[in-house]
Every structure is written in structure tokens, then in C-alpha cells.
Amino acid sequence: MIRKRGQFFRMDTPNTTLVIDAERAETVYYGERLSGACEFSAYTGSGRRLFSVFGRSGGSEYSVAFFHSDGGFTADFSFARAKVSDAKPVLPDLPSSYGEGKTLELRYTDPAKLALHLFFTVFEDSDVIAVSAQLHNAGKKPVRLQRLMSLQLELPGAGYRIHTFDGAWGRERHETVHTLQNGTFVNQVSEGYSSHMHNPFVVAEGPCGLFGFNLVYSGNHKEAFECVGGVTRALIGINDAFFDWEIAPGESFFAPEAVVCFAPDEDALRLRMHAFVSEHIVRGRWKKRERPVLFNNWEGTYFDFDEQKILAIAAAAKEAGAELFVLDDGWFGKRDSDTCSLGDWQDNAAKTGGLAQLGEKVRAMGLEFGIWMEPEMINEDSDLYRAHPGYAMKVPGRTPVRQRHQLMLNLADERVQNFVVRAVSDVLTRSGATYLKWDFNRHMSDCYGKGVPAGEYFHRYMLGFYRVAAKLAKRFPGVLFEGCAGGGGRFDLGILCYFPQIWASDDTDARMRTDIQRGTSYAYPQSSIGAHVSACPNHQTGDDNTLAARFNVACGGVLGYELDPTKLSEEERAAIARQVAFYKEHRKTLQFGSQYRLCGEGVEGYIAVSKDEASAVAVVNALNVLPGQPDLFVRFKGLNPSCVYEVTRADPSAAADGETFLAGGDLLMHGCLPLHGLWEEKLAQHCSGGIVSRMYLFKKTKQRS
């Protein structure tokens, strides 16, 4: 709800309130929801600006910067008008949130006939506020935009703890905390994709609570925090590195949408972010639909397979209860290694028997058929490159940087966009696939497109990618697209607007996945996180963990298996069948329930609670069990304190479950459940990875009086 009182606009979400002084362009208040009518006049004049420019706002990081064509670069915006409407701004070719809500549009004008529009959208059912910015040039000369941040929020005081989610291939989104007392802290990426290194999601933790920020964008991003004049300025938007965009007279530049959420603690922030993504970002047929349990052949075979092997894996997958078989890399052109054929999306029929037939055979087993592609890439050793070398992203006369032996396609070019749409459409139509894993295995380096100004390249690439993704999502509404980027290199809200789930990491080791999935699930719901059980020793770490531990960890996301089941023992296959049956039974809660992270000394895990609080599944992992250690313990979360639960030590991997006990929701949440016998369990496992993992199943028995 948005209410106006004089120059004040008050935006209420179910649990938060944001108050803006439109005329002064200031944030007056943002935090816990205020009750009743409020008088804000004593709180204005705090200097917490809604935007900042060089020379007039202090500091060194600004939300808007541009060069006029006369050589000046002064900006001097003053209030022009405010408007509340039911319509969200349309951001041409950019993904953005959707749903019923009100939007406040503030307009500030500069004497050079530039208009800065700031948009704030409040959804009735969400504590996340969506913010975007537009710079319109109503003058007669072009303006060179150097930066337009999507969101500026100035927080009172300094000393904020900034949480970022960082890593590399194989260890994405590990949480790091930096305390900012003075100066500037920047979380940014300038290699053309949201990246393995620094996710666009950041949190500023202050004395009143947490402010979570994210960007609906998959390219270069920047989240800057600067202590300036008694406030901490947060700026969220496209990275201005290599950015220089000409706005012609009569035209506008639209910054991608940013989102912000206030919450009193981490649990509330997670739940609010999850609810927002599930309701206002993910769309289409798969929005609330339970996601299938899949088997993917990548780690089971890599490039070394033929039709017979694939069908044997699919048959074993079916026997285990899988619903979808996914054929990964290596089915097309001459691709028996990663050195060739990207771009040649024609069948290697000698290897697979042809996609159409293979798809038919898999479906005849009672499985859906899914396929892997890497549509934005090209190998020089490909027919596509030989026919259209100009489709590749490279600078004429220079040797390009190759990564995994490949170049990128120049998606800033409409012809190339059309090629990709055609290629993907052909593969989906030919194979009848109902799932597509969309991979992206390198960073950008030799950015160049004929006729594309250098400073516009990165963003024009992203607009091209989004045009392609939007067309395909519309053309194939029934297909479940899973984003992937050399593991989890492009896990962001932009991707989730088109692809409802994303492969979180190539690292499937259970211990590594606990950190990766904990970091990822801070901002993104479990139904968006691809999580697979793989073979041991793990291909990334060389460590062993029990099948039970690997399964328990993978249940924290959308479950799949990434192995060759024909190489497993009868016993292991039977255990997997029990796991899959258990997962399906509790899938709704695991994928769409309220997920809380559990943590304590030496212990981590999660609990997923059904929406009606009647049942829950928890996983508790003891990561480093040592001899002579006192008992570790766990406190659960999210249960109904006035209900009694029957709690079972579930072990879907074994033939029978463990003990059962009764306890009230309040005791389960406030008491410390001792985890007896961890050391004995660890010794019995003989596993180098050493996680001791327990699963608990909660069923509500009665309401207490």
C-alpha cells in the first residue's frame, strides 16, 4: 500500500514500512512496519538521499553520472512530480518482477532537460520492494551516461556488517562478512556474467536489522557501500566499469530492477526473499509445480557414451523411481571432448541413434526426456564457425582468449540471437524434450560487435540474451529450463525470470554443498536450487561421504542424481529407490515449504516446514566429529510452538527408520536436542568426507490446550 501525506509517501508491506520525502528526495524511514497514522516532519532532513551526483552529494560513489555534449558533467536534479499508479514501469527487454502492486514514480529534472525517474513498487503480499531508475534525455543533444544505479538507499550511521556471497568454480556463494566503519566497500563483477566470484545478493546488517539487496540482472553488477556524512550509502546496479551509453535526444536508459528487503533477522530475511522469488520472479507453468526427480549422465559418463549405455542408465533411473532423464554434453556434432562442435546442434546419430529416437525410447520407459545445450557458445572447430566466423565474439586482428577451448557468440547481434532461437527450438522440437539444461561455461573477454559502441557492449549482450530467453520461454511454455554456468556461475534473479531452477555448482561433494547451498538459500528458494547426489569418491574433492549424507544434503534443493546407476551395487540401487520414494512423498514440503537454516557449534543443516506447520523434514549435519567431543546439539525452527510433534529419526537410505519420540514445538525450538553417538557413527562409516548426517521427520499429533 502506498499513502501520500504532503511531500511524504509511505509504503507499507505486510511487515515493513518505507517512508520517502519526495520533495527533498530523502529516505525518512525504512524498517519494521509502523502502525497507524504517523507524523514524519521531525524525521525529515536527515540527508539520506534517494540519489547522488558528483559535486552535490558528497562521497565518491554516485548513483547517476553522465557527460553532457558541451564538455560539462554537472547534474543538478530537483523535484518535479510524484505519481502513484497500478502499473509497474516497463523495462524494455529486461527481466523484472511481476504481480499486483502499486508503484510510486518520482521525477527529478536537471536544467539540461534530463529527467531522472525513480520507481518503487510495493506488492501487497511481499516484504520486498522493487526499485528501478530511468534517465530520460528531453534535450536536443546526446548525453553520455557513465552510470545509472538502480537503487540508492542511505542507511543511518556506519559500522554495518556487509555479507557477500563469494567463491569460484566449485565453491560458489560462500558467505563472507566485512565490517564497514569508514570508506567504501564494493562487491562487483566485470567479466560479463553475474559470476561464481561475487553474487549480486548482498546484506547490510545494522543495529535495527538486516537489509537484503539483489539485482534482477545477469551481467556485470556492482553493490557499493560508502560511509559518507554520517550515513552508509548503498548503491545497487549495473557495474559502470567499461560502461558508456549514449542517450540520444528523446530517448531513455532504463536501469535493471533492484530489490530490497528489511528483516529483523536472518531467518525472516530468507523467508521474505524466498517468498518474493517464488511469487514475483519465477513464472510460467513451473512456478509452483513440484519439480521432477532427474538422473543426469554427466558425471556417470562424461563424453564417453553411446545409445546403449544411455538407455541402460535411463532404465536404471526409471527403476529407482526417477521421473526425468537428462542427456548432458556430447550428443551433437563431433563432440567427444570439449574441444569442438559447440554451435553444431545436429545429432551425432552414430553415437546416440538420433535425438528423436532416443527421446522416444526414453519416454517409452515412462520417463520424461531432457537435454543439455550451451547455446551462447561456439568452438572454432565447428561447422558454424567455418560458415559464420563473424558470429563469434572476438576483436578483429586480435587473438581471442579461449576458455575451455571455446569462444562466445556475439548475442549483441540480432542475427546471432535469431540463430540461437532457431537452434534451441529445433533441438527441443526434434527431441520432444520437456527439460533443457542451459549451460554457459566461460567468462566474457573479447567483447566486440560490429557497430556496437565499446561502452555499450556488455549491456547490449545481456539485452540480446534476455530477448532470446524470453522468446524461448514463451515458445516452449511446458519446458522446464534449468540455468547452469560451469556449475553455479549465473545464479541470479535475471535468470530465474526465465529459468525456474539453476544448477548450484559442479561441486557435488556433500560437505562443500552444505556451504554452497547455505549461501545460495539466503536469497533464493530451495525450489530454484539444483542439487544432485553423485558417486564417491567425489569427482571434485576426492572425498567419500555416505549415500545417506549425500542424499540428505541434496534434499535441501531440487533432488537429482549425477552418476551411472548401472555401476552401483544392488544394495545402493535399492537405497536410492527408497530415497527417491521418500523425496517424492515429502517433495512439496522440501521444495516449497518454509526453509530455515539450522546452525550451532559443529552442526549445520536445514528444516523445511509445510505451509500449514503440520509436518517438516530436518537435516542435521555434524561436519567435524572428533573423539572425546562432548555431545553436539540442535535447536529446530519454524514449528508451531503449541503443537505436539511425533519426531522420527528417518533414514530413507536404510530399510528401516530409527527411534521416534514426542515433543512440543516449543521444546523442539527452544530446547537443545543432544545428538548422541555421533563419534561411533562416524567410525562405522569409513568415509574420508566424514559428515555425520541425520534426518528428522516431524508430524503434528495434536494442538495443546
Give the interface with ligand DGJ as residue ranges (CB under 6 A).
Answer: 298, 328-329, 372, 439, 441, 484, 486-487, 503, 506
- In the bound state with ligand DGJ, the residue whose beta carbon lies nearer, of 16 and 352, is 352
Q: Looking at beta carbons only, is 492 or 651 nearer to ligand DGJ?
A: 492
Distance CA 477, CA 596 (A): 31
Task: In angstroms, give the least distance from the CB of 505 to ligand DGJ.
Answer: 8
Q: Closest residue (Cβ) to ligand DGJ? A: 329
Closer by beta carbon to ligand DGJ, 439 or else 456: 439
C-beta of residue 575 within 8 angstroms of C-beta of residue 547:
yes
CA 478 to CA 468: how far, in whole Å?
17
Tell me how far apart the alpha carbons of residues 421 and 472 are, in angstroms, rounded to a whole number.
Answer: 7
Write the DSSP symbol of residue 292: P
Q: Considering the complex, what minimum distance in angstroms separates the CB of residue 184 from ligand DGJ? A: 34
Taking the complex as a whole, how short is the minimal distance between the CB of residue 572 and ligand DGJ, in angstroms? Answer: 22
Smallest distance, Å, CB 406 to ligand DGJ?
10
Report the C-alpha gap between 544 and 197 in whole angstroms.
26
- Tell me the closest approach of the beta carbon of residue 507 to ligand DGJ, in angstroms: 10
Strand partners, 332: 347
Residues with catalytic roles: 439, 506
- Which of 628, 584, 629 has its CA nearest to residue 602? 629
- Provide the minimum distance between the beta carbon of 485 and ligand DGJ in the complex, in angstroms, as a whole number: 7
Smaller CB separation from ligand DGJ, 342 or 647: 342
Q: Give the Å distances, CA to CA, from 191 to 188, 407, 426.
A: 10, 14, 30
CB nearer ligand DGJ, residue 126 or residue 534: 534
Please report the beta strands in 612-691, taking only residues with DSSP state E, as ranges in sequence order: 615-622, 632-634, 643-650, 660-664, 673-675
Distance CA 184, CA 233 (A): 9
Residue among 638, 637, 663, 633 nearest 648 (CA):
663
Q: What are phi and psi of 236, to 5 degrees?
A: -125, 125
Give the C-alpha distances (Å, rounded to integers) separating 283 from 21, 164, 200, 287. 34, 27, 21, 5
Taking CA atoms, 95 is separated from 188, 423, 599, in Å, by 20, 22, 35
Q: Which is nearer to ligand DGJ, 329 or 347 (CB)?
A: 329
CB of 477 to ligand DGJ, least distance (A): 24
Q: Which residue's C-alpha cell is 540480446? A: 464
CB of 146 or CB of 346, closer to ligand DGJ? 346
The 3-state secondary structure of 484-526 reads CECCECCCCHHHHCCCCEEECCCCCCHHHHHHHHHHHCCCCCH
Q: Amino acid identity of 660?
A: T
Minimum distance, C-beta of residue 441 to ligand DGJ, in the bound complex (Å): 5
CA distance 592 to 291: 10
Give the residue with the Cβ less far from ligand DGJ, 145 or 409: 409
